[in-house]
């Protein structure tokens, strides 16, 4: 019983250590004895992408498909100075982790000779969702998607394209491009202009609760 308790405490401490390293609160080795993002892969902090926008005559918007959408991010190294811009990640991709043939990630990248990072795209049950007209009215940031990161953290999101929305009269619009931070179209059947603009975002570290991953 004592040995089992020791292992459980060690796992908790290792997780806290990895999270601290990923947030730039420390450097060096995890309590588990591995460097985060070096050799062993360790625990993954979960960053949520929060989005808010202004909408006109729209009921909601979000990715056309959670499974095939490509998310474009800028990344920074968790425990180093390196940065990368325009990294594309999708949950439809699967890459083997180096030195761990039993585990995969949606994205793997090499920082330097020995340091790697990986990302998994996740939808968190009861947490991540589409942006609605009510959110716009309340000027609320909405958790759109999550990124489990090892050895890196996201600093910027480029919306790009691949979104859908519905007009307040029920017309569906596909492959919406938000690269410029706004999009406009026209619901001809109902003589209605449809607009999404002032798209803003932020990343926050998710504190795990009772809500699970989808």
Look at residue 214 in the predicted model and tell me its pLDDT: 55
Three-state SS across 163-187? EEEEECCCCEEEEEECCCCCEEEEE
In this prediction, residue 101 carries a pLDDT of 64
The predicted structure's pLDDT at residue 20: 39
Contact status, residue 37 vs residue 112, Cβ threshold 8 Å: no
Are the C-beta atoms of residues 106 and 95 closer than 8 Å to each other?
yes
- Say what the pLDDT of residue 97 is: 83
The pLDDT value recorded for residue 43 is: 61
Torsion on CA atoms 29, 32, 37, 40, rounded to nearest 10 = 130
> What's the average pLDDT block by block, 10 residues per block, for the chain (214 residues)?
39 39 34 36 82 97 95 95 96 84 88 89 96 97 97 97 96 95 95 97 82 52
């Amino acid at each position: 019983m004592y040995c089992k308790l020791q292992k459980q405490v060690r796992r908790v401490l290792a997780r806290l250590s990895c999270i601290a390293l990923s947030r730039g609160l420390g450097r060096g080795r995890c309590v588990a004895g591995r460097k985060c993002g070096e050799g062993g892969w360790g625990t993954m902090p979960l960053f949520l992408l929060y989005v808010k926008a202004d909408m006109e005559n729209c009921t909601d918007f979000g990715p056309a498909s959670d499974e095939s959408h490509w998310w474009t991010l800028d990344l920074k190294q968790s425990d180093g100075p390196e940065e990368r811009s325009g990294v594309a990640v999708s949950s439809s991709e699967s890459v083997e982790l180096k030195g761990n043939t039993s585990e995969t990630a949606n994205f793997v990248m090499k920082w330097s000779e020995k340091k790697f990072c990986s990302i998994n795209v996740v939808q968190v049950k009861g947490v991540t969702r589409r942006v609605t007209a009510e959110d716009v009215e309340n000027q609320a940031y909405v958790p759109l998607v999550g990124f489990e990161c090892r050895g890196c953290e996201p600093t910027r999101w480029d919306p790009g394209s691949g979104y859908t929305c519905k007009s307040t009269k029920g017309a569906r619009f596909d492959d919406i491009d938000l690269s410029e931070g706004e999009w406009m179209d026209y619901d001809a059947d109902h003589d209605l202009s449809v607009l999404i603009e002032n798209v803003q975002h932020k990343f926050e570290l998710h504190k795990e609760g009772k809500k699970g991953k989808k």
